[in-house]
Amino acid sequence: MIDVGEKRITKRKAVAKGEVLLSSETIELIREGKIPKGDVLNCARVAAVLAVKRTPELIPMCHPLQITHSKIDFDVGENEIKIKAEVGAVDRTGVEMEALTAVAVAALTIYDMCKAVDKTTEISHIRLLRKTGGRSGDFVRKEG
């Protein structure tokens, strides 16, 4: 791990996004609450929040952080579920990995809950959208 002891404690935020591609039939089962394993989106939201808290246990060089908030949103389309995670902290290093991990674990949870009814499910385009705070400054992805 790098030494962050000399860095200033600042307010930091990161937003990440990803998609899970599913059949329209599976999307309908999710909307109707008919997936055999249960409520897909609520389970994925809880899994994402837990992932934020456990990121340093999963990614070897990540520092444990003082997380101040996490927010996980889903946008259910005709053939996909878009996942967006926002994570904040007041610390010496950023929360990009926590936001990305939240999206990845939410996507994996959706995959796990739907795999029995849809073998074609795909996880796609996990990426950092923006981050604020810290020595390197702000970052905003230009999505076109």
**Cβ neighbour number for residue 108 with a 10 Å cutoff:** 16
**Cβ neighbour number for residue 53 with a 10 Å cutoff:** 15
Give which of 16, 10, 1 is closest to 134, Cα–Cα.
10
Q: What is the DSSP string of 14-69?
A: EEEEEEEE--HHHHHHHHHT--TT--HHHHHHHHHHHHHHHHHHHSTTPPP--EEE
**Residue 29 · residue 35 · CB < 8 Å:** yes
Give me the active site residues, please. 112
